[in-house]
Amino acid sequence: MDRTPRTSRARTALTAVATASIFAGLLVTTTGPAAAEKGATTEAPKPTVVLVHGAFADSTSWNDVISKLRHDRYPVVAVANPLRSLSGDSTYLKEVLAGIDGPIVLAGHSYGGSVISNAATGNDNVKALVYVAAFLPDKGESAVDLSGRFPGSTLGDALRPVPTTNTDGSQANDLYIQNDKFRHQFAADVPREKTDLMAVTQRPITDAALAEDAAEPAWKTIPSWVLVATQDLNIPPAAQEFMAQRAHAHTSTVRASHAVSVSQPGKVTEVIEDAAHSVR
């Protein structure tokens, strides 16, 4: 006679326990992620790093630097510098920069330093300039002027001029580094199997581009970082140090050839990321 009430009471208790368990599960499901999101922090977006190569090189000279920057989650653009004229190359870079949203860290190697100095002027998105064994010309100065102002460059004796016709019909000379002198002159601290390829694939620059006077430079208004290559045979280290001091740049040195982005990509990346950390 008592079995039915007992059974009924047991079923009621089990139902209550099951209902409580389901409710508790729903509570965990609905509140768990919300609590996690509440404590989560969102990483600020990183500036885009734009890399500009110089003479006798191409964008692949940045390859190892690009890999390290991408590993650290920086957006990167490596620009194909035309190497035809300082004013024309700067205009081309300005157009590339205009298509990039948000803050930019702009880095140039060698003659690429002259190009970024011209192109960044007036661009509010460029927050930092990085010069890697590069020229920082003032208004009216050329790469030829600056490299000849201090002793140490042996580039002139290593060049091979090739006559060329510009798109406007004017005549110029394309300048190459002679293949058998390339490694010693440009990249003495890079393995020979790599420099043999670099010599064959080098991009020539016109003599007019190296001799053209610079416009008003961006380093006068934008914070700058300079990496001086102390074994450079293209741009004398004394010239690099002079330009860095004049620009009041954050300056560091590395024992490296002119091809420092190839031989010392870790150091180059360190300087670029140091500049990037200043961007707010």
**Mean pLDDT computed over every residue of the chain:** 89
- CA distance linking residue 115 with residue 214, whole number of Å: 9
State how far the alpha carbon of 44 is from the alpha carbons of 77, 104, 123, in Å. 19, 14, 22
In this predicted structure, the answer to whether residue 215 has a pLDDT above a threshold of 50 is yes
What are 136-174's pLDDT values in tens digits? 999 999 999 999 999 999 999 999 999 999 888 889 999
Average pLDDT over residues 77-87: 97
Strand-pairing partners, residue 76, are: 49
- Per-residue model confidence (pLDDT) at position 11: 45
The pLDDT value given to residue 10: 41
β-sheet bridge partners, residue 108: 52, 131
Per-residue pLDDT averaged across 223-232, rounded? 98
Residue among 43, 44, 47, 46 at smallest CA distance from 106: 47
| Mean per-residue pLDDT, 95-103 | 97
Note the pLDDT tens digit of each residue in 26-78.
333 333 333 334 444 567 799 999 999 999 999 999 999 999 999 999 999 99
Q: Which residues are registered as beta bridge partners of 171?
A: 165
pTM of the model: 0.85
The pLDDT value recorded for residue 220 is 98
Which strand ranges, in their side-by-side order, compose the sheet holding 171-177? Answer: 159-165, 171-177, 205-206
Cα–Cα dist 207/181, whole Å: 19
Q: For 3-31, write each residue's pLDDT tens digit.
A: 444 444 444 443 443 444 433 343 333 33
pLDDT band at 280 (very low <50, low <70, confident <90, very high): confident
Q: Residue 37 has what pLDDT?
A: 43
User: For residue 6, what pLDDT is reported?
Assistant: 45
User: Residue 97: which residues within 8 A CB-CB, separation 6 or more?
Assistant: 50, 104, 106, 119, 120, 123, 125, 126
**Counting beta carbons within 10 angstroms of the beta carbon of residue 64, is it exposed (0 to 12), middle (13 to 18) or buried (19 or more)?**
middle
What is the rounded CA–CA span in Å between residue 164 and residue 83? 13
Q: What percentage of residues in the chain have a pLDDT greater than 70?
A: 85
Continuous H helices in 40-85 = 63-71
